[in-house]
Structure 1
Amino acid sequence: MALISTININLRRPASFQLKTPVLFRRREAVAFNSKPRKKVLTDSVFVCPASRRNSNSTTATDVSVSELDDNTRKGDPVWAISSDTINSLVGLSLNFFFILPLMNSVVGIHAPVLHPMSEGLFNFVIGWTFMFAPLLFTDRNRDRYKGSLDVLWGFQMFLTNTFLIPYMAIRLNKPDAEYTPKKASQLGLVMVNGAPVVGVIGGAACLISILWALFGRSDGDFGGVADRWEFLVSYLGSERLAYAFIWDICLYIVFQPWLIGENLQNVKENNANLVKYLSFVPVVGLVAYLLCLDVDEEV
């Protein structure tokens, strides 16, 4: 054993031939020795300059034109920044109110703006429904809690938007004012209440004609069949501000109609109260039923 030990000592590499490895590389060797085998990775990093010659035909984020940026900005315009196309469309729809001019155009040849029948139908559907809301407002048992003018309220609702009904629906929930003297019915209110059945027939007919007009109106024009018109409606609802307003009005009416009718069933003839109660949840139909079954003598 002593001989073997002596040989091992003598066979050691001379100190002058031992490589002096830097600490950094020794540390790397130790890590590599203790770690699991991994793929070979190049230790020399190659730095590539990201700059390159600009190609006039290429398009980058910085190459977007100012006009394209303006177009993107217009998509987020505020509500008061209405385009001229929207204004022209609104004027054309207003001139075709209740399809009076289009029908007269086919009879006596009066010129009327030609718009897509789907947009005309949607517009007049909302107008017909709004028209029937007048007698309902003037017969609301909580209408006296609203200190403003119902004539003005319904006028804004009819010619602007039924969003004005939201504060009214909130105010009518207040407790009654014991010192408040009920207002005398206005001339508009008397006409609407006395003629409630007529208003129901006209408004209901307008809504029905609007649906038929949207699907089959202007058949001599290049508006396609029902499938093409439905495709237009989907595109119209997703891109036009007027369509947003119409859908908003319809959604509010779906909520407000059964709410107001349900709290004013005492105004309906007693033998029709249950029928009106159930139909009140059907858009348009419930309001027509309320107006046709209204006990006018009790209200006037």
Structure 2
Amino acid sequence: MKQAVFGLFAAALGAAAPAMAQDYGFSGDFGLGYWHNADGGPGLESNGGIDGKDDRTTLRTRLSFATAIGNGLTGQIDFTSNDYSSADPSLDTDDATSFSRDLALRLRRDFGGFTAGAFLGYGDHNDFGDSDAAMYYTFAGIEAERAMAFGSIFGEVGYLDSTDEYDEGTQRAPYVRAGLVYNLPNDFVMTGSVGYAGGRKYGDDQFSNTILNAEIGLERAISDQLSVYGSYDYNRISYDDAGDDFGDTIGTLYVGVKMTLGGTKTARPLAPFGKWVSYNANEIE
């Protein structure tokens, strides 16, 4: 899937560049991360999964291609991939997430200082051997962003669902996410967001699901097309079983580089759907 997506982006860029350099846009984000889980966390009991604390390495790739359609409309396709090193051999390595990857189609309209749109997407994920069946997820929602004197504010409201062999992933989950972008001196930009998702686990409404997410990042432009950044991603995923909360807390510290091309601006990344599903199905189980 990943090779096909890279080929699609390359072909789209090659076809669009000679004719309409200002009517398309491309962005790439490549981040190397230090991943750590707490095997539970404040107010949470561990439910097994990888069955312990672990430190791993992860590679995040985010690619976006946007094209101006007319009348203020822009269409965009996103590809997001998270790849993880194997878990410590002393743990239950089969239950560790190996990868998650998804494609999203987005359509938005610019109303002058305010953009709004809708999106839908599909993804899959896998572990290191616990499941021998396909694990996938779908998502859809609406998004908006408004320019402010300090930068901008943005938000999403949507729905996430998944299917896997043991019904362990995040299912039937409405979610909301909001954030802001703050422009700082010397070409620095700070971005922060918080998110919440509900839903269920194990294919049963009795096991209600809760996801709390927070992200913060600092980025510095090196040129008009290139920037470097550092960021931190926090996810607390749990479910209720007769009044007891089981789950895990997972954080990732990233350093990375971003690049942009073309005259049409790509929209910022959506919520980390792959993490919300794969961590629940694998690390938490």
User: Counting strand residues as a fraction of each chain, which structure ranks higher?
Assistant: 2
TM-score range, shorter chain: under 0.3
- TM-score, structure 2 length as denominator? 0.19
User: Counting helix residues as a fraction of each chain, which structure ranks higher?
Assistant: 1
